[in-house]
Amino acid sequence: MDFNFLFFLEGIRQAVLHIPVTLSVAASVMGLGIVFGFAVALTRCYRVRYLAAFFRILVTVLRGIPIILILLTFQVIVAFTYDDTMARLGLPYSYRNLNKAFIAIAAMSLPATVSMSEVFRGSFAAVDRNQFDASTAIGHRGFQTLFRIVLPQMIPVSIPMTGNIIISTIKSTSLLMYLSVVDILNGAALAAAVNYRFLEAYLAAALVFWGICALLEWLFHILERKTKLRGAA
């Protein structure tokens, strides 16, 4: 099998052109995951009645389901219910014209929420319990303790794992091809569909993914180091 280096470069170009799609989906997924994951973590850490048990079971279930199954399940549910729902609401939208990236964001935000909730829960547990008593002793209420005492200590602890989850989320966006969303992988693969140079296309997409993840890993390493230095000061 001959390797076409010129098409390999073309595959890189096509993959780079679709970086914004991949990053926008990953950023949306992580944004939702951080917000809802923090809420789930607080609910479990403060042992809110009924909700804590519900989220504990939900986290356990979702952690055992592959992302691809969640993604495809969402796609099937939306495909069968979207048109009827829009018709009942009197809205002129159809599944055919729906941007499938929204399905991916909704589906992938579930495992992101689960992962981030565990990160925040572990970071919360790392805060010394005596500091809660000290905060109460000086007159702080619950939210004041959370935002003035707990969060400044949780964030540095959560940075390394958050970076890993962001990188994993970016790599998981390669599953967007199952929804016919043109991302980094699908962009390179579509270019290869003309001449069947899929090896060059896949290697090009892998190189682009690696470059993005390596850059993010370097940035999070710098952020983690600066945070530790600030904490030590």
Q: What is the CATH number of the domain that holds 70?
A: 1.10.3720.10
**How far apart are alpha carbons 225 and 231 in whole angstroms?**
10
**Domain for residue 223, yes or no?**
no
Q: What is the pTM of this model?
A: 0.89
**Domain for residue 192, yes or no?**
no
**pLDDT tens, residue by residue, 93-142:** 999 999 999 999 999 999 999 999 999 999 888 877 777 767 777 767 66
DSSP assigned state of 176: G
**Domain for residue 57, yes or no?**
yes
Number of structural domains (the chain) is 1
**Domain for residue 104, yes or no?**
yes
147, amino acid identity:
F
Average pLDDT over residues 218-223: 91
**Domain for residue 149, yes or no?**
yes
**pLDDT tens, residue by residue, 32-47:** 999 999 999 999 988 8
**How far apart are alpha carbons 165 and 160 in whole angstroms?**
9
pLDDT of res. 31 = 97
- Return the exposure string of 66-102: e unless at least 16 CB atoms fall within 10 Å of the residue's CB, then b: ebeebbbebbeebeeebeeeeeeeeeeeebeeeebbe
Domain span at 67: 19-181
**Domain for residue 136, yes or no?**
yes
Of 6-10, 125-129, 158-162, minimum mean pLDDT range: 125-129
**How far apart are alpha carbons 64 and 131 in whole angstroms?**
35
